[in-house]
Structure 1
Amino acid sequence: MRKPVLVLLATIMLGSVVAQENGIKNPYKKRPAFGFAFTFHDFQTAQDLKNTSLNQVLKDKQWYKTGRMSPGLALSYFQGLTDHLDFMARLGGTFVSYPVPDKPQSGNDKLLAELDANINAKLLSDKYWVSPYLTAGIGGSQWSGYWGAYVPLGVGLQINLLDQAYINLNAQYRVAVTSATTANHLFYSFGVAGSLFEKKEPKVIPPPPPPADTDNDGIVDSIDACPTVPGLAQFNGCPDTDGDGIQDKDDKCPDVKGLAKYNGCPIPDTDGDGINDEEDKCPNQAGVAKYNGCPIPDTDGDGVNDEEDKCPALAGPASNQGCPEIKEEVKKRIDVAAKNVFFATGSAKLLAKSNKSLDEVAKILNEDPNLKLDIEGHTDNTGKPDKNQILSEARAKSVLDYLTTKGGIDPSRLVSAGFGQDQPIADNKTAAGRAKNRRVDLKLHYN
């Protein structure tokens, strides 16, 4: 029977230790306080709840009448564990005819002594003038030689009056642990409590005055090499205005980021083309990035740069896109030769009378090895278009073969193509027109 009391004492000691450890972190933790309270024990309502139901008890409207309650007094002790948890111990006594289970009631009122330990979980801290809370704990009782243990469960309301003085209202349902000697009952208390100890305010020692820092750069004057100008710790308090890692006194361009190699100035761009000298292969001549800072090249030196020159290896005027101009005399010789190329009817076989003209073409090409020639074959509209297309291609190819085999012209300088009947230069309705449309066009060019 004495075990609950021992457990209660251990809980009180544990609560005190926890409270001491948490004091610093919880500014509104309750200081140790003592109080007294008027108490009321109600065994009858608890019995009614057991025998009927909560609804019936409320309906009977007897539970709140003081006539069925036994008044008493209690001493209490409070100790804050945290801002929201308080330890509460209570020692109380009341004269009552205790309904010991399975024992006949004597009808004589005797002293019921109770000691319990509780934890109050507060909704609000002691910063506020009122705080509701839930309570739970463990307790022990003694009545006329009967020892018992119970668990108090309930709610409460704390009302702050002054600093560390307050009213405490509490209602509990006490659940019997030792059912042979203890009865379930309701418990109410109304009391006041206050701290008997003054709150110890920590002694505040004013900090020493900070060392002088005239320029407010975080570096004290005693170690600041530039005490009147804000600067950086890495330069002993001297500034680096452009943030390039070179302090201003050593920086020839203090307002522009640069490199130590150039005394704090950016990499130079001598020719002003936007490409710095370290990457510019022509640092003294403006150019473009595509050519690493050099101007667009003009390989043939004709004044037309290679990007716009159709003949970058041959000098020619800009009016002809950088290519040499073909002499009018040469053009006429080619035109005459083209009009004297003949084939067998319906065939790609060159007639012998064409040889003189084709030899003249080969001569022109050999006189200027840079010239190139396009050979285009055409037919009239006699016959089917697909056959005419094939015939035109074959005739152009025959001319190409003659120039390479008989004329000794490199095939890479020649291109042949056939256009069938699609590009007439005369009316196909007449014999003369059809004769003009059956032709080979020869086109000289340099690109």
Structure 2
Amino acid sequence: MRKPLLSLLAVCILSTAFAQENAIKNPYKKKPAFGFSFTFHDFQTAQDLKNTSLNQVLKDKQWYKTGRMSPGLALSYFQGLTDHFDFMARLGGTFTDYPVPDKPQGGNDKLLAELDANINAKLLSDRYWVTPYLTAGIGGSQWNGYWGAYVPLGLGVQVNLLDQAFINFNAQYRVAVTTGTTANHLFYSLGVAGSLFEKKEPKVIPPPPPPADTDNDGIVDSLDACPDVAGLAQFKGCPDKDGDGIEDKNDKCPEVKGLEKYDGCPIPDTDSDGIHDEEDKCPNEAGVAKYQGCPIPDTDSDGVNDEEDKCPALAGPASNQGCPEIKEEVKKRIDVAAKNVFFATGSSKLLSKSFKSLNEVAKILNEDPNLKLDVEGHTDNTGKPDKNQILSEQRAQSVVDYLTAKGGVDPARLISAGFGQDQPVADNKTAAGRAKNRRVDLKLHYN
């Protein structure tokens, strides 16, 4: 039975060596740390789970009471393997009447010694001050001459206090491997740990002072033909004020960027749109650079250019941002339909009396394939806000599903959203107000 403990020590040594090799690749890898913790062993709850069920154990409300647990102490060792994986070893002891399987309990507390090795898979790196993790490993125990092995499985939370210290809470379910000498049980641990090793900062050797560069143009004075005026390396440190690649002494327009074939002066711009004629595809008509000197297009010829047109493929007035205006009659039909959408109480299931109204909405959308529809779900403030939010989203999606499946509407033209109880239209203090707030809003648009 001592073989599991020898295997455990081998895992500790190999994990530490692997962690040291990985230090450079993982900047948030935990440094070696030692800790002290209070522990609790709970054999009774594990037995209750076996004899009854999880639901019954939670209902009895006994599982969290420390009076039925055996307290103890433990020493811990932590070593980072990567940014997201830590090795954790723990040596603990507690005085308890261990329930050895198929053996009567003597009623006397004796020392239970345990040693286990675990891998902690962290959801966040140690860069964050709170780090939840999952843990699994292998362990060995000895009580009153009985040697056993177990597999600890659980979860935990690490709270960083300083660069070198942290609080660690861990809860495990320990599964017996040697069934004749080990019992399944719950295990809890709360403690602190800290690194005994300070981070070594690399020694920084300051670079030698740079050679003199009076005009700060990046060319040292010994190589600068114009050491008092900032210039370019290609002109041996002399300037090109307009940055056109032509040295000022050879530039007929030294203050204006130009081309060599125009002796340093710019290319003509006939239409004065800021785009010279050589790159202007519409040299006689003012335009913009985005369209290579041509005017911004107006695809639907409605007088609103495409960059300002919310519906560039559909003609519409500028007062409506270039989109067609929806007829008042159509808006009224949609509003009436929205007021006649009903759901089962507390559910997203549509009532059959809603179908007529939704069929009318589908008809309107199918008559104009350019129309789009936003479906927005709302609730009153009865119940919890998070559940109301989910219910509002589900109800809006039920309307979209109906219009798609029964009405034949392209789902790409429909958007659903839920707003829970956050956008009431009436007072939630009255039944009538709450009824108005339990609604689905339908909003037509083209863009």
- Residue-by-residue CA offset, 1:77-122 (whole Å, 9 max, x unaligned): 1223344443221011223333333444444443322111123334
Aligned twin of 2:56? 56
Q: Structure 2 vs 1, CA of residues 192 and 253 (structure 1 numbering), >3 Å: closer, same or farther?
A: closer
Contact map agreement 1:75 1:91 (CA 8 A) in 2 = yes
Secondary structure of the corresponding residue to residue 79 of structure 1: strand
Q: Structure 2 vs 1, CA of residues 256 and 165 (structure 1 numbering), >3 Å: closer, same or farther?
A: closer
Aligned twin of 2:47? 47
Aligned twin of 2:201? 201
Aligned twin of 2:73? 73
Aligned length: 267
Matches within 5 A, 1:135-284: 135-240=135-240, 247-249=247-249, 257=258
Distance 2:171 2:229 in 1: 71
- Residue-by-residue CA offset, 1:304-344 (whole Å, 9 max, x unaligned): xxxxxxxxxxxxxxxxxxxxxxxxxxxxxxxxxxxxxxxxx
What is the CA-CA distance between 1:54 and the residue it aligns to?
Answer: 0.6
Distance 1:10 1:210 in 2: 54
Unaligned 5+ runs, structure 1: 267-447
Distance 2:127 2:15 in 1: 21
Aligned twin of 1:390? none
Aligned twin of 1:19? 19
Distance 1:37 1:256 in 2: 73
User: Normalized against structure 1, the TM-score is what?
Assistant: 0.51
Aligned twin of 2:297? none
Distance 2:110 2:21 in 1: 42
Matches within 5 A, 1:361-380: none
Aligned twin of 1:90? 90
What is the CA-CA distance between 1:76 and the residue it aligns to?
Answer: 0.9
Question: What one-letter code is carried by the residue in structure 1 that aligns with 2:118?
Answer: N
User: Normalized against structure 2, the TM-score is what?
Assistant: 0.51
Contact map agreement 2:246 2:264 (CA 8 A) in 1 = no
Question: What one-letter code is carried by the residue in structure 2 that aligns with 1:216?
Answer: N
Q: Structure 2 vs 1, CA of residues 160 and 259 (structure 1 numbering), >3 Å: closer, same or farther?
A: closer
Secondary structure of the corresponding residue to residue 47 of structure 1: helix
What is the CA-CA distance between 1:67 and the residue it aligns to?
Answer: 3.0
Distance 1:265 1:107 in 2: 103
Distance 2:211 2:26 in 1: 34
Unaligned 5+ runs, structure 2: 266-447
Matches within 5 A, 1:254-333: 257=258
Q: Structure 2 vs 1, CA of residues 225 and 129 (structure 1 numbering), >3 Å: closer, same or farther?
A: same
Distance 2:72 2:148 in 1: 18
- Residue-by-residue CA offset, 1:182-210 (whole Å, 9 max, x unaligned): 22110112222222333333333333333
What is the CA-CA distance between 1:28 and the residue it aligns to?
Answer: 4.5
Q: Structure 2 vs 1, CA of residues 258 and 92 (structure 1 numbering), >3 Å: closer, same or farther?
A: closer
Question: What one-letter code is carried by the residue in structure 2 that aligns with 1:223?
Answer: L
- Residue-by-residue CA offset, 1:54-92 (whole Å, 9 max, x unaligned): 111111122122232222221111223344443221011
Question: What one-letter code is carried by the residue in structure 1 that aligns with 2:89?
Answer: A
- Residue-by-residue CA offset, 1:205-229 (whole Å, 9 max, x unaligned): 3333333333333333333333333
Aligned twin of 1:120? 120
Q: Structure 2 vs 1, CA of residues 203 and 242 (structure 1 numbering), >3 Å: closer, same or farther?
A: closer
Higher Rg of the two aligned structures: 1
Aligned twin of 1:350? none
Distance 1:162 1:248 in 2: 60
Secondary structure of the corresponding residue to residue 48 of structure 2: helix
- Residue-by-residue CA offset, 1:395-437 (whole Å, 9 max, x unaligned): xxxxxxxxxxxxxxxxxxxxxxxxxxxxxxxxxxxxxxxxxxx
Aligned twin of 2:32? 32
Secondary structure of the corresponding residue to residue 170 of structure 2: strand
Question: What one-letter code is carried by the residue in structure 2 that aligns with 1:93?
Answer: G
Contact map agreement 2:244 2:264 (CA 8 A) in 1 = no
Q: Structure 2 vs 1, CA of residues 163 and 246 (structure 1 numbering), >3 Å: closer, same or farther?
A: closer
Secondary structure of the corresponding residue to residue 58 of structure 1: helix
Percent identity at matched positions? 84
What is the CA-CA distance between 1:131 and the residue it aligns to?
Answer: 3.6
Distance 1:184 1:235 in 2: 83
Q: CA RMSD in A?
A: 3.5
